[in-house]
Structure 1
Amino acid sequence: MSEKDPSVSDEEWAAFVEAAKKDGVGVGGGGGTGRGSRSAPAREPEGWRSGPAWQEETGRGRRKRQVKGVLGFAAAAAVLLVALRPQLVTDHLPEALGGPGETTPLAAESARPTAAPSEEAFAEDPTLREPFRGSPALRWSDGAAGIETPQATAVGWMSKNEVGAALKSAKDFLVAANLDPTVVNGGRPTAALALLDPHQPDVLPAMEKGLTKATEKNDPTLLFSRFSPAEAKLVGSVVKVRGRMTLENGKGAYANYVLIHTDYTFVYPVVKVRPGADEVARTVARRQITFALPDPDVYRATKGKLSVSRMNSSVGNDACDGPKDGFFHPIFAEDRTASPGTDPSGPATDPYDRSKDLADLPQECGRLTRS
């Protein structure tokens, strides 16, 4: 289906899916397995000299964990779709099955979406060759290409060139923290740490402590995407990314700050570290991070370094009862089979839904609608 000339719009398809659900016909993904998710409420680190204090905006530092339940796919759905409107099926089929497929890359995200990506008629399981099959991320950008910076302009105390350098540093941090293969596969995020301001009194020390011995308070996965090298590894070299970055001059408590707001979702296909392992699971991490650039003439700050004024994260398919060791712990179908009846019963969440602020989502362990 072409974005410029779609035979069926996303809105029309979503409306049809919803109508089908009300009629009791399954149009959701098949082959679901147990999935866990966790998220952390927004936190604001301490300020510099007289800057804003660290605040727990939504309670204790908890991270939502959710588990994906099995979504049934009824054979009658395909019959109903064809009978009512054949193009609704053919336009959403992969090319190998006779339709044009949903493979055209999406345009960059310029504003917060108003709804979650529409569900696919045939949500297939991922494979080693096609790790993003059956996922909305199939049409997302690959890696760093998905992190686009806004046009640099003079803001507050910073010149256009200084803003341009700060935007580049923000992107470099997100790449180093979430896309560097060494980091994703369990290594130390050295390049990302080097971009943080050592004068900020809590973030860098907390991350350093967490990388040595992780705790719920000092948890490196609040900022860094890491899988235990003894447990899971990335399939291939591509991580799918979607999101946006905005810029503003701080006001009120953040006067004399330039703020860079980032909101990105990263999709990681992983496989168990075991000879012959071929089951692919996907972990979906969304991060909302605001970087602050305080005026060094007003605050004790290192010019050219980033401070973190707010961070919030949600991770889909990360075990609810996993150890607090600074790594993601994805759940595979075989794990769920080995331990039946352990799925969380909390609220259901779509990890691909970017229409809501993370602070507005439930914080307890829940269920994923898809991964």
Structure 2
Amino acid sequence: MADLPPDLFDADWAREAERRAMRDHRRATRANRARRLTRPNRGTLLSMLSLSIAVALVWAGFAFLDGTAPTASAPATAPSSTSTAPLRKHAEVDPTRPFADTPAAMWREGAGGIEPPPAHPVGPYSAEQVGRFMERVRQVIITARLDRTVLETGDASPALALLAPALAEKLRPDLTHGNEKESWHVAARLAEGARLLPVQPRVTGWMTPTVNDEGELAIRTNYLVAYAFDVPDPKKIDGPMDIVAVIRQEIEFRWIDDPKYTADSRGIWFGEVRGFNYSINCAQSEHGFLAPSYDNPPYTGAPATRRSEEYFDPHIPMPTEDGCR
């Protein structure tokens, strides 16, 4: 019986790819695309990534580098709300309504923005099986991105508990202090001293059930979450994006249920993962933490190539621009 399901890619390769990608990214501004999954040897379980810090004005992002991205499936349902509202960068900020004057004002609150589409049969999987898996994925996203305990303490144990036990065990080393940059896809964690306002984050996006190349049931997700932060001196705020930070993540969740694998290897695994952050603290992002752009130094890089509203839109391709340097 196999001990582990097929994993992402070799850790040594990932480390070398990260060094190479960061070097190449500084030399050019070419688009970077997601790497296809491969079947590595047993034990190379962790979903390592090549991290590319990307900022337009005051934002940062990350994306897999090298290789070719698979063609994205059309969403099974439209996002929970649209993202066409204009962004008023210098609007007065009301801490009781921090998302006003941003496109996130039109998104749903908290877990209400993570709504699975109606379940239907996918490949050999029944509508009931698909529905159960989508609900499990929904709980993973809620726990990893919205749970205040996870966000504020940095303890990702509640999120790990929803994954296959073998995967959770292999991920634990990357969740220890100092390794947060390597595990951004597992859970969001606030920087020390960063505090959220007492309002629900806003969420938009979708999930799409499919069968991947290995014949496994997979859920492809594309969600944006906007967080509103408290700041020490509200009088110094120039506009809502000083306190609102946005993360976008395209994550494929794989359901491993083949009896050829041991019991602790069955459950939820990560497939392809890509992410991007907008209007966040660059220095904290370098260490894998989330904080608002309030303390960023003035940006002196190339001008933004997109309208600000586009970074709130899950329909546009994952941004890859660089501007933190």
1:112-144 deviations in Å (ceiling 9; x for gaps) = 79x962525796243212111111111110010
Sort the Cα spacing of 1:109 and 1:246 in 2 relative to 1 into closer, same or farther, 3 A. closer
Correspondences of 1:217-366 after superposition (within 5 Å): 219-228=182-191, 230-250=192-212, 254-272=213-231, 274=232, 279=237, 281-299=243-261, 302=264, 305-322=267-284, 324-332=286-294, 335-336=295-296, 339-340=297-298, 342-345=299-302, 347-349=304-306, 350=308, 351-358=311-318, 361-365=319-323
Find out whether 1:135 has 2:94 as its counterpart.
no
Q: In structure 2, what is the Cα distance between the partners aligned to 1:147 and 1:323? A: 24
Distance 1:44 1:185 in 2: 33
Q: Deviations over 1:333-364 (max 9, x none)?
A: xx35xx44x44336444321322221xx3252
Gaps of 5+ in 1: 1-39, 70-107
Taking structure 1 as the reference length, the TM-score comes to: 0.61
The structure with more radius of gyration = 1
Give the counterpart letter for 1:242 in structure 2: T
Q: Determine the C-alpha separation between the residues in 2 that align with 1:55 and 1:211.
A: 12
**Residue segments in structure 2 that go unaligned for 5+ positions in a row:** 1-31, 60-74
Say yes or no: does 1:211 pair with 2:175.
yes
Q: Is the 8 A contact 1:43 1:311 kept in 2?
A: no
Counterpart code for 1:255: E
CA distance in 2, matches of 1:178, 1:129: 21
Match of 2:136 in 1: 169
The corresponding residue for 1:36 is: none
Percent identity, aligned pairs only, is 23
Q: RMSD over aligned Cα, in angstroms?
A: 3.8
SS of the counterpart of 2:158? helix
TM-score normalised by structure 2 residue count? 0.69
Out of 17, 37, 50, the residue aligned to residue 60 of structure 1 is 50
What is the rounded CA distance, in whole Å, between the counterparts of 1:346 and 1:219 in structure 2? 29
